[in-house]
Structure 1
Amino acid sequence: MKNNQAFILFALTLLQGCLYVSAEAKNPLQAESSKLVSTQFHSGNSYGKRAKKPSNIIIHHCGGILSHEKMKEIFCDQSTKRSATYGIDQEGKIAEFVEESRGAWTSGSRKEDMNAVTIEVSNNENGNDWKVSDKSFESLVNLCTDICLRNQIQELKLGENLLIHSMLNEETECPGKYLTDKMPELERRVNQNLLEGKDSVKKEYKKFLNASGDNFNGCWMPVFSG
């Protein structure tokens, strides 16, 4: 009977999308920043607080080889009317410019930006296919996975909740040919990570049952940190 109660709680937790619980966060469902961030700049270029958690991710490229300091000059200058939730440099390091709880000025659409986490990725070449480095792309995969886990996004679907700038504005080619062609891979790899995350929760649950035996007190909560 007690094990059945444990399973019901486990199933409800999965249905609620509670796959990511940080021991450091008092309320993990209200997390505003990725733990993958190495630098925070706090740009004021935003639409303000969201009414609900973001449900989409929009990918952009910087249109050049930009360091975090260069991104800061652009995204923290109000006259540019530009910002992003996150920026990834060509070394794969991630900076936060606008908290996830706020909509950044990125895609030229208040509606879209208020529903999305926006990511600007530095190129490692100017022009041509606007390539990005392998390190940048790996960080993009990890960051998108982390965003999904913390915001209870169960699956990414290209063209639905995984978007690129050119899908929203036909006058731009952003994020360039290279990243545009890599979007199916991004979708596939992030979704694979999310499935592996669910497997990790199931393993955690089994470990819990084995350790608790008949002493289950109804307080189990899954912990998945990546």
Structure 2
Amino acid sequence: MSVRTDTGVAARVHPSPNHGARAAGVPIDTLVLHYTGMKSAEDALRRMCDPASEVSAHYLVYEDGRIDQLVPESRRAWHAGKSCWKGERDINSRSIGVEIVNPGHDGGCPDYPGAQIEAVIGLCLDICARHAISPWRVLAHSDIAPDRKADPGEKFPWDRLAQAGVGLHVTPGDAGGGILMQEGEAGQPVEAVQSMLALYGYDVGVTGQFDRRTVLAVTAFQRHFRPARVDGIVDQPTVETLYALLSKLPSLET
């Protein structure tokens, strides 16, 4: 007898032992997208099902669009690691994790196949509908762990997902524009950018000092929302894109 998945889209169950109980009373309100960052799908699946790895995700999406469910959505998968969003640090307890087969930066950042992205869109629409996950809580692994992670990377088509109704996205500012501020600078303009990043959800101190932590947050923001230039330097397009996103948040979130 076949085991049913949690999702309404076509998928099969391939169970991983790597999960635990979610924290009591914490809602599932976040969706985190990853790339596997390994040479092959088989390697990634093997690792996420190996108890010694202590790594897993709820879903794995293959290049051809096939989907495996590894962990029941009711359980806490081990995909986010040390992370933070809007001050919350146990992201695993409040999130669904989707791993997307792609070798990532170490593998040359190949494009995501169309069939794979269509499958990701269908799966994400289903997850967000069932758990009432807001568009602004569909996040990259790099958003919640900018000091450790770069996935799913600047080649991931967030704009295409948003057009289909998954995630929050705006047309990014032009890649040009002069430098406004960078690492080592200090003052009120730095504090203003830090405040906007923190308001959106990034784990950045509002200190007025453009420190390494700020560089990492800016880099993560650019990788997700302004991928034409990912350098951790705040230019006018970065500020414009950040402001446009904040203007789309409901007052409850801000």
Please classify the TM superposition score into its range, dividing by the shorter chain length. Answer: 0.5 to 0.7
Q: Which of the residues 99, 103, 106 maps onto 2:76?
A: 103
**Which residue pairs with 2:86 in the alignment?**
none
Q: How many aligned residue pairs are there? A: 155
Alpha-carbon deviations, 1:44-92, whole Å to 9, x = none? 211324534411100000113533x443311111111110010000111
**Which residue pairs with 2:99 in the alignment?**
120
Q: Is the 8 A contact 2:38 2:44 kept in 1?
A: no
| Structure 1 residues 32 and 40, CA gap change in structure 2 (3 angstroms) | closer
Which consecutive unaligned segments of at least 5 residues does structure 2 have?
83-88, 168-254
**Which residue pairs with 1:169 in the alignment?**
145
Normalised by the length of structure 2, the TM-score is 0.55
Q: Is the 8 A contact 2:58 2:73 kept in 1?
A: yes
- The 3-state SS of whatever aligns with 1:95 is strand
| Structure 1 residues 141 and 81, CA gap change in structure 2 (3 angstroms) | same
The equivalences for 1:37-186 within 5 A come to 37-49=10-22, 51=24, 52-67=26-41, 69-109=42-82, 111-123=90-102, 127-153=107-133, 155-157=134-136, 161-170=137-146, 171-179=148-156, 182-186=157-161
Q: Is the 8 A contact 2:16 2:71 kept in 1?
A: yes
| Structure with bigger gyration radius | 1
Alpha-carbon deviations, 1:128-183, whole Å to 9, x = none? 23422111111111101000111123x412xxx1110111222321112211xx22
**Which residue pairs with 2:246 in the alignment?**
none
Q: Which of the residues 162, 172, 194 maps onto 1:187?
A: 162
Q: Is the 8 A contact 1:144 1:190 kept in 2?
A: no
Partner Cα separation in structure 2 for residue 65 and residue 187 of structure 1: 28
Fraction of identical pairs, as percent = 25
> Aligned AA for 2:152?
P
